[in-house]
A and B are shown apart, each in its own frame.
Chain A
């Protein structure tokens, strides 16, 4: 039977401990690792936050610049609403047009995304599924360009 010699060895080692130096080294290493681990999360979060800030800033800048290039700054709210973007080309934009006409349409809110416009809040009530768009139409009925419009304040 081998059990009894092992029991004896176990009893004789029960009072033994690690040296103070080894214990101190181990504790220091555990503390250091514990301190290092959480730092990874703030750095990742910081990177994501910075990326988001840059993205939001760039989106706002793009919207502002797109709307500023060719449209007058509205003097105040009226029935016409405020253009949010410049005119963006549609499929037939390069097709030569004779006389043209601008019409205001209600289009699905998802249209904004298809033009890479990320900011949805400024285009009216977030509950609304539609947004306003001014569309340039040629005398042949083909749509040439579109701009998005903020609804008028009433």
Chain B
């Protein structure tokens, strides 16, 4: 290795060592993990659809659709069948992972089945919201959405979506010109619409000019009691008890 390249490596190593602790110390409690409210007496079943759209620089359009299901019974139990989206940093082969979640406030547990394995993760049902500190040391994410950007929140009022009255909120994050080498300002926009009556998310949109759009929508909502067996773990599944340690502590 030439003397110049050794110098370059040395300088890079020094910079990395000096800057890494600064990233770690920059973390702050900035994320509130809320638990879905227990809604009794309003049972329903619905289909869901997650649509991801992206247009590449050469004009190629990519669209993926992932169906979902949502059930709630009169006791407030909830069953969600959906794909987790946004896992590419963990698994470059696939960005999504299918899972089934059963929230059972009656029994006091949350059950999760990941993929097709006959296993179910069990955690205690805890209604208390929790603060989560996000560690901003990940340079890839910090580059994607740099911390400390100004966001703007808007109340979008109410409107009817698929026969349900919904209230909406929009959050706009501004990425100023030049921050990421961009020649003009960019906006990342998130919209959430929740049914006033059913108290459930029925439409959400995420727009990012760099990564495309993701839309989640509940459709074909049927107000009837879903079959009881949907809210119980299928027979023969191995239960893995994850206890309460899956959850971070509450913010003092």
Contacts and interface: CB of A to CB of B under 8 A. Distances in A.
Residue of B35, B173, B188, B248 most packed against chain A (CB within 10 A): B248
A71 to B, nearest CB: 6
Contacts of B29: 70
Contact of A58 (B20, B151, B244, B245): B20
Interface of A: 51, 54-55, 58, 61-62, 65-66, 69-72, 74, 78-81, 83, 85-105, 107-108, 110-111, 114-116, 133-137, 139-146
Contact of B135 (A78, A80, A86): A86
A143 B85 contact: yes
Interface stretch (B138-146, B156-164, B228-236): B138-146
A88 B89 CA distance: 11
B123 to A, nearest CB: 7
Contacts of A58: 17, 20-21
A100 B80 CA distance: 12
B214 A142 contact: yes
Contact of B132 (A66, A103, A114, A136): A136
Interface residues of B, number: 77
Contacts of A142: 84-86, 206, 214, 216
Contacts of B145: 89, 93-94
Contacts of A92: 85-86, 206, 214
B219 interface: no
B50 interface: yes
Given A100-B34, A103-B114, A80 B245 contact: yes
A89 B31 CA distance: 10
B224 interface: no
Q: Which are the 9 A-B pairs with shortest beta-carbon distances?
A: A99-B36, A80-B245, A70-B133, A143-B86, A86-B135, A140-B216, A107-B90, A140-B204, A111-B90
Contacts of B132: 70, 87, 136, 145
Contacts of A89: 134-136, 138, 141-142, 145
A18 B180 CA distance: 73
Contacts of B201: 98, 139-140
Interface of B: 10, 13, 17, 20-21, 24, 27, 29, 31, 33-37, 50, 66, 68, 80, 82-93, 97, 99, 101, 110, 112, 114, 121, 123, 132-142, 144-145, 149, 151, 169, 171, 173, 188, 190, 192, 194, 200-201, 204, 206, 211, 214, 216, 240-249
A134 B121 CA distance: 12
A135 B20 CA distance: 23
A81 B123 CA distance: 13
Given A74-B245, A79-B241, A88-B141, A145 B91 contact: no
Given A71-B248, A79-B240, A98 B90 contact: no
A89 B147 CA distance: 10
B216 A144 contact: no
Given A79-B243, A98-B192, A104-B246, A139 B36 contact: yes
Contacts of B90: 90, 105, 107-108, 111, 114, 133, 135, 146
